[in-house]
Structure formats: C-alpha cells, structure tokens
C-alpha cells in the first residue's frame, strides 16, 4: 500500500512538471527560453493616437520566459514585447500550459513590456472577454511554447538578486501648470490641474506632479557551474520610442535583453541565455526631461539612438551590481493570487448625452474630444464591476507584485514600503490590461491618465489594490507549514 501511495505522489508531481526528490534533498532548478511573436507586415502598430500599418521589422518581437523550481513549487514569469495584452489572452496561454504540464495558473505571471511599436493584443480594449482574434491566438500559443521550452531546459541552478539605480532616465511626465494655461484643457470641456507631456521649457510649467523611482531591481540565475541562464530586471520607465514610421520594435526592453547578454559574455551559449526587462510602475513616468533649463528636452535623436543609450545605461548598471550578488543554491518559492472586484467607470446618462452631442456637433474645444466621445459610448454597456487579477510571487527574499494596469509610480513605492519581504518590485501590465491606475490624489488633478476611456476602473481602485497586494505578500512570506 505504501508503494502505491508513493507511486501516486510521483505521478501527480510528474503531471505538474515536478520531479520527486530524495528526502532531505533541496535542488533548485531554472530554465529560460524565448519565442518569436512578431506579427505580419500590415498589422496595425498601436501605442499612439493613430495605428499605422507595419511596413518593416526593425527587430523581432519576443516572449521571454523564466521558470524557477525549488523542488515543490514551480513559478513561470513571461514578458511579451507588446503595448498591452488582455486577460483572456494570458488566461488562454496559462490554460494551454496547464493542459500540457499541470502548472497552476496562479503560478504563472505573464505581462507586457509596453513597447509602443508592436501590434494590437488588446482586442477591442474592453473590460469583458471577447473571442480571440488571429494574432491573439498566435500569441497565446507562442507564450505557451516559451514556458514549455523553459521547463524543458530546467537544470540545477543558483540564484541571486540585487538593486542598481539610475535616476537620469526617468522623469514624471505629469506637470502642474499655472492656472489659465491653454494646455490644461481636457476633451470633456473641462480644465485639469496637470498636463501630461507639456511643451518643454513652457513658461507656464510649475513642477512635476509626482515622484520617480530610480531603482532597478533584478534577479540573476546561473547554472551550478556559474554559466548565466537568465536575468530578470525591472525598471519604472514607460518606454523610450524614437522608431521610424511603420517599424515594429521591442523598444529599449529588447535592446536591454541584447546588451545584458553581451555584458555577461553569454551570447553563444547552448541553451541560450535569456535577458528580460520588465516594466515597473511607470504609468506617469517617461524619458523626457521637461524641466526648464539647458538640460530640458530639445535635442533630436536619430531613430533608435536614445533607445540604445537608455538600454545601455540600465544594462551596464545591472551588470556592475551583478558583481556584488551573493548566489544561493536554494531558495523557497511561493505564489498567491486573487480576483478583486472593482467598479468600472461606466458613463451615466449625462456623459452619454455629451458624447452623442460631441460626435454630432464637435465644439472644437480639444483635439481629442471626438476620440473620447467614441470611447465613452463604447463603455456605456460595460458591466459596472469587473474582476481584476492580482498576484504576488516570493522568490527567496524577493517579492514581485503583478498588477494588470499602467500603474502610477506612487503605488509601486507604497507597495515596496509595506511589503514584508526585503526586496520588492511590481510588474505592471501583468495578467491583463485594465487601462491606467492613478492614485486617488492624482485623479483629483485630472490629466490624460485619469480621463474616462484611458482610465477604466473606479477612482479609488489604487488603495484597494495596494491593500490586496500587501495581503498576498503576507501569505507568500509566511513560513511553509
């Protein structure tokens, strides 16, 4: 009977992709892989106000996967070169992985990098699930393949983590401006208190409306012989841009992956080394210096020049910090996830009437008023609540929060402050896409990121999400029973 029980346990572990280990043995394993997710030419490139068709592939888009296994728990982290991916795509990818190897969906963290030079993986931008289009189906299978290959490549490994800093490449893009400034108009006929991406050196500029986060968190994984397997970094910078019209590109996230590979002298390995840069909490952070003075925005860069410059600085900083990392032969892993029901900013009758009137007879008050009138009308039949997936990973002393939105930096800083784990960072646009996530205070200031249609969730969503993430961290930080 005892043999049958042991055999049954081994079968269950095999179904989950885990191997039974001898009593007392603790073997940490890791594997990494990439898959190509480049859409065909002619696909719309999203991220701006227009969606021009792709006419050239400057650099291929990828999903990059890292799988970690402590012998009893397995975690998968995947970053996709995309502006955003809806929950139903990630859910389908997780279902496909679970179908093959039994890995629970809550143990898989999947996110978009937020390159603005990729095709649309958000479908109709709605809250409710919709049938997957052709590219979304392709993407789900390619994500699955990256995870399965990373599992196939699992090998005994050691792991370390650290922090680098770079405050030169991050700026808060929301600015307080003098009352009466023409730049404070919004599409709904009102006046905001702040402006996203104001004109540089404008005399009406007062000060940034919030902080930045210069911290670059990273996790480094090596084989037991010291060969680099993968490196996952996290930086709170929206994107860099500077691509040619019609170009597909993974932006500075992809350049970082290449550069860190070069710095670690891991270019020609077998299996290949995988460098990954995830997006932190950068909903209000970009790479443009609007501060008045000689260092303000103004110099024009050649296509891809600034992207390479930023990626090189970030990769070099991480590489230098890697020299001080203490690697461990084994660390505990844990995951927790929950769906938090949050209100959706469904327009009321007055707002619907405004949208209909604006489309019929535009007042020409703001250049994007018709865009937002269309968005408001699309939202009128949405559900008033939606389940928002939140997730927390523990990797040794490191905590990773996953939030499915473009998260304001203040939220990431608060999560880090309240986390029970020694080192904590947040990956945004994870496990879905629910628009921007400003703080309640920033909502009161207005601005692009708070506008209905850009922001989809209730105005008090941020504190509820932070509290839920902290609760999840308490669960994963607790000692195993």
Per-residue pLDDT tens digits for 53-75: 999 999 999 999 999 999 999 99
Residue 224 shares a structural domain with residue 143:
yes
pLDDT given at position 130: 85
Residue 265 shares a structural domain with residue 326:
yes
Residue 181 shares a structural domain with residue 243:
no
Q: What is the share, in percent, of the chain residues with pLDDT greater than 90?
A: 86
- For residue 282, tell me if it sits in a domain: yes
Residue 46 shares a structural domain with residue 186:
no
- For residue 183, tell me if it sits in a domain: yes
Structural domain boundaries enclosing 203: 172-207
- SS3 track for the chain: CHHHHHHHHHHHHHHCCCCCCCCCCCCCEEEEEEEECCCCCCCEEECCCCCCECCEECCCCEEEEEEEECCCCEEEEEEECCCCECHHHHHHHHHHHHHHHCCCHHHEEEEECCCCCEECECCCCCCCCCCCCHHHHHHHHHHHHHHHHHHHCCEEEEEEEEEEECCCCCEECEEEECCCCHHHECCCCCECCEEECCCCCCCCEEEECCCCCCEEEEEEEEECCCCEEEEEEEECCCCCCCCCCCEECCHHHHHHHHHHHHHCCCCCCCCCCEEEEEECCCCCEECCCCCCCCCCCCCCCCCCHHHHHHHHHHHHHHHHHHCCCCCECCCCEEEEEEEEEEEECCCCHHHHHHHHHHHHCCCCCCCCHHHHHHHHHHHCCCCCEEEEEEEEEEECCEEEEEECCEECHHHHHHHHHHCCCCEEEEEECECCCCEEECCHHHHHHCCHHHCECCECECCCHHHHHHHHHHHHHHHHHCCCC
- For residue 474, tell me if it sits in a domain: no
pLDDT at 20 over 60: no
pLDDT given at position 275: 98
Residue 160 shares a structural domain with residue 116:
yes
pLDDT given at position 10: 40
Q: What is the mean pLDDT of residues 440-464?
A: 97
Residue 72 shares a structural domain with residue 110:
yes
Confidence at 403, pLDDT banded by 50, 70, 90: very high
- For residue 466, tell me if it sits in a domain: no
- For residue 20, tell me if it sits in a domain: no
Residue 71 shares a structural domain with residue 202:
no
- For residue 111, tell me if it sits in a domain: yes
pLDDT at 306 over 50: yes
Residue 404 shares a structural domain with residue 428:
yes
pLDDT at 18 over 80: no
Residue 284 shares a structural domain with residue 366:
no
pLDDT given at position 201: 81
pLDDT at 244 over 80: yes
- For residue 340, tell me if it sits in a domain: no
Per-residue pLDDT tens digits for 103-133: 999 999 999 999 999 998 987 666 877 899 9
Residue 166 shares a structural domain with residue 185:
no
Lowest mean pLDDT among 3-17, 150-164, 353-367, 465-479: 3-17
Per-residue pLDDT tens digits for 179-201: 999 899 999 999 999 999 998 88
pLDDT given at position 238: 97
Domain end, chosen from 187, 207, 227, is at 207
Residue 312 shares a structural domain with residue 433:
yes
Lowest mean pLDDT among 18-32, 34-48, 125-139: 18-32
pLDDT at 21 over 60: no
- For residue 325, tell me if it sits in a domain: yes
pLDDT given at position 82: 97
Residue 226 shares a structural domain with residue 364:
no
Total count of domains within the chain: 3
């Amino acid at each position: 009977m005892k043999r049958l029980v042991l055999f049954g346990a081994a079968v269950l572990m095999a179904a989950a992709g885990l191997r039974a280990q001898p009593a007392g043995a603790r073997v940490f394993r890791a594997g990494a892989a990439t898959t190509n997710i480049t859409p065909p030419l002619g696909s719309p490139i999203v991220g701006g106000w227009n969606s021009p068709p792709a006419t050239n592939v400057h650099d291929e888009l990828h999903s990059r996967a890292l799988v970690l296994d402590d012998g009893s728990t397995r975690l998968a982290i995947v970053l996709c070169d995309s502006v955003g991916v809806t929950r139903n795509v990630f859910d389908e990818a997780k279902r496909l992985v679970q179908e093959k190897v039994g890995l629970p969906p809550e143990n898989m963290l999947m996110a978009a990098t937020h390159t603005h030079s990729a095709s649309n993986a958000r479908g109709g931008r709605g809250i409710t699930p919709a049938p997957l289009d052709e590219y979304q189906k392709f993407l789900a299978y390619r994500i699955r393949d990256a995870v399965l290959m990373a599992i196939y490549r699992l090998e005994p490994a050691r792991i370390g983590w650290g922090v680098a800093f770079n405050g030169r490449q991050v700026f808060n893009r929301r600015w307080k401006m003098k009352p009466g400034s023409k730049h404070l108009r919004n599409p709904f006929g009102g006046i905001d208190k702040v402006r996203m991406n104001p004109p540089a050196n404008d005399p009406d500029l007062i000060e940034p409306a919030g902080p930045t986060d210069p911290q670059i968190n990273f996790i480094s994984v090596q084989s037991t012989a010291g060969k680099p397997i993968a490196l996952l970094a996290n930086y709170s910078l929206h994107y860099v841009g500077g691509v040619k019209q019609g170009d597909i590109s993974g932006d500075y996230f992809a350049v970082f992956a290449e550069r860190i590979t070069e710095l670690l002298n891991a270019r020609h390995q077998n299996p290949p080394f995988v460098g990954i840069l995830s997006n932190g909490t950068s909903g209000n952070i970009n790479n443009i210096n609007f501060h008045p003075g000689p260092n303000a925005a103004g110099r024009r860069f050649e296509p891809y020049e600034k992207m390479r410059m930023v990626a090189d600085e970030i990769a070099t900083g991480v590489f230098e910090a890697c020299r001080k990392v203490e690697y461990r032969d084994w660390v505990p892993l844990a995951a927790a996830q929950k769906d938090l029901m949050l209100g959706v900013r469904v327009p009321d009758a007055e707002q619907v009437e405004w949208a209909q009137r604006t489309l019929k007879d535009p007042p020409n008050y703001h250049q994007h008023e018709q865009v937002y009138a269309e968005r408001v009308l699309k939202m009128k039949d949405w559900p008033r609540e939606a389940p928002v997936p939140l997730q927390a990973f523990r990797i040794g002393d490191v905590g990773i929060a996953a939030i499915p939105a473009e998260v304001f930096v203040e939220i990431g800083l608060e999560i880090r402050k309240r986390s029970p784990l020694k080192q904590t960072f947040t990956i945004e646009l994870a496990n879905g896409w629910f628009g921007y996530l400003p703080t309640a205070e920033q909502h009161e200031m207005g601005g692009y990121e708070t506008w209905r249609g850009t922001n989809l969730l209730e105005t008090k969503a941020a504190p509820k999400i932070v509290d839920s993430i902290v609760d999840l961290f308490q669960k994963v930080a607790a000692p195993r029973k």
